[in-house]
Structure 1
Amino acid sequence: MFWLKKVLGNLLMPLPMVLTLLLLGLLLLWLTRRQRLGKTLITLGVLLLCLFSLRPVSLALLRPLEQQYPAYAGQGRLDYILVLGHGQVSDPTVPAWSYGTEDSNARVAEAIRLKALHPEATLVFSGNTQDDPLSCAGYYAQRAEAAGIPRSQMVLFEDAFDTQDEIQHYASLVHGGKTAALVTSAYHMPRAMAMARGAGFTPTAAPTDFKAKLAQRPLPLYSQLPSSRFLYLSTLGVHERIGLLWTRLRGQSKD
């Protein structure tokens, strides 16, 4: 089920979807007499690629997700700081601090900031070793140790393969009046919080890595041209919306 979900989910992302339309269109043009349908599919694919690569479209898809939860400004005691994994590649030819993805680096940095605000809290890191000898949880722990936090103040879940696995692990800790902050990328926070409520606990949201930001001054015209960066942001927005629908259909979330 895990791999099926990943494969089907990736096929529905903007770029694979567009490439599928273009490929089908070319096959129809070259191998069949259905020229009009082939041209239609190719035209649709090009238009979708352009749309998903525009700033306004990417902001419209991503920003509503990121703005659902404000940045952390909590007071009082925290028992746990829960940090969702994202990924890492422990390439020995690069510095250890470069192992993480943009998202994972932002998440562990936010966790370290919260730990400074709440010295009493235990850091809880998750993420598996599926594609790398070093788990994402292990990478987070290395970053936290480099910031002066002892390993004794951390809990690592290195057998979690997706957000649902991570949330289930967290639910085993956060009970009996325990308090927790949940750290993840801002675009991912709505789904993570819904899944946490579905698992029976409600942490305080601590979103980080806000990507869909609004400029405070007029932007130059060239910044409105199609860009791979905006295609990436659109992909994140589509991915999260599909993820929210999937968790609701499976009864894993609670809104």
Structure 2
Amino acid sequence: MFYTLSKIVWFFATPSNLLISLVLLGLLLSLFGRLRRVGTGLALTAAIATLALGLSPIASYIMVPLEERFPPFQDDGAPIDGIILLGGSVEAADSAARGRIVANESAERVLDTIQLAYRYPGAKLLIVGGGGTVFTNGTAEAPIIASYLRTVGIDPARLLVEDQSRSTFENATYAREVAKPREGERWLLVTSAWHMPRAVGVFEKAGFPVVPYPVDFRTGGSFTDMRPFAFVSDGLRRLDVGTKEWAGLIAYYVAGRTTALFPGPQASGGSVRR
């Protein structure tokens, strides 16, 4: 229920959808004599807000705190027992239709995982990600990525696949069931930097401490060097991603699915505890 409700609510609350909906609502109201002035004002205000939020660097300001919450991974020489790749980097349905991997803007998750696989040849690789949609089960992402990793020389014996999860909460819960991590093991968690705070908090809550390995940065990391966007669609896309993640942090904290409202480095112990 939580998953379905969150998807429905967010569809309407997504900034880009909400702004366009307000424009359309304003235009509709303007067709009625008594509401013409109100409708025209609403449509104009929403249109101006769409341009302002799409072109200004506001979306980047929203994203920076998320991306800067965890520092880049530094190899301290300690052994790495496993690598967890969270889904979200592959268009599963398109990949299945074309018979080859179709990556999206988060493709760095897969690329960095391949690099890590060769850097730590003894580590297991846990690929996480099902294919759930709001009302039906879609094409699972994890098996597609696992198949691709085999084509680039990764030993199939190292691969673990979790293909049932539909959310970050389920990612962590099912990942622990599949990996069965032992006490003292260290597992790297590969996901987008802006998604890392929520992911770490959820994995900690599930009893599966991880070492963050943030990738897929969308900003330069500084508040002082923010540039306007050249296209409204680019700014709105980043705004959608950033606001969704902040909303997810709040919702997960209220639901008791994460260890803190804004999990930070202190929340990640690295090795599995009992």
TM-score range, shorter chain: 0.7 to 0.9
Q: Which residue does the alignment assign to 2:115?
A: 113
Q: Which residue does the alignment assign to 1:237?
A: 242
In structure 1, what is the Cα distance between the partners aligned to 2:51 and 2:145? 37
What is the correspondence of 1:136-155 to structure 2 with a 5 Å cutoff? 136-155=141-160
**Relative to structure 1, is the Cα distance of residues 65 and 133 closer, same or farther in structure 2, using a 3 angstrom cutoff?**
closer
Q: Secondary structure at the match of 2:31?
A: helix
Residues 90 and 134 in structure 1, CA contact (< 8 A), matched pair in contact too: no
Q: CA deviation at 1:59?
A: 0.9
In structure 1, what is the Cα distance between the partners aligned to 2:56 and 2:21? 23
Q: CA deviation at 1:124?
A: 0.3
Q: Does 1:102 align with 2:75?
A: no
In structure 2, what is the Cα distance between the partners aligned to 1:90 and 1:3? 25
Q: Does 1:159 align with 2:164?
A: yes
**Relative to structure 1, is the Cα distance of residues 133 and 8 closer, same or farther in structure 2, using a 3 angstrom cutoff?**
closer
Residues 79 and 121 in structure 1, CA contact (< 8 A), matched pair in contact too: yes
RMSD: 2.4
Q: Deviations over 1:84-118 (max 9, x none)?
A: 1114222544x724x22221x22111111112221
What is the correspondence of 1:1-255 to structure 2 with a 5 Å cutoff? 1=1, 2-75=3-76, 76-86=78-88, 87-88=90-91, 89-90=94-95, 92-93=97-98, 96-97=100-101, 99-103=102-106, 105-130=107-132, 135-172=140-177, 173-213=180-220, 224-255=229-260
Q: Deviations over 1:177-213 (max 9, x none)?
A: 2211111111111111111122223211011111123
Q: Secondary structure at the match of 1:102?
A: coil
Counterpart amino acid of residue 138 in structure 1: P
Q: Secondary structure at the match of 2:127?
A: strand
Q: Secondary structure at the match of 2:238?
A: helix
Q: CA deviation at 1:135?
A: 2.4
In structure 2, what is the Cα distance between the partners aligned to 1:54 and 1:90? 32
Q: CA deviation at 1:30?
A: 0.7
In structure 2, what is the Cα distance between the partners aligned to 1:213 and 1:55? 16
Q: Deviations over 1:33-85 (max 9, x none)?
A: 12332233213311221122124112111122111112222331111111111
Q: CA deviation at 1:147?
A: 2.1
Counterpart amino acid of residue 190 in structure 1: P
Counterpart amino acid of residue 79 in structure 1: D
Structure 2 gap ranges (5+): 261-274
TM-score normalised by the chain length of structure 2: 0.82
Q: Secondary structure at the match of 1:71?
A: coil
Q: CA deviation at 1:227?
A: 2.7
Q: Which residue does the alignment assign to 2:264?
A: none
TM-score normalised by the chain length of structure 1: 0.88
Residues 82 and 188 in structure 2, CA contact (< 8 A), matched pair in contact too: yes
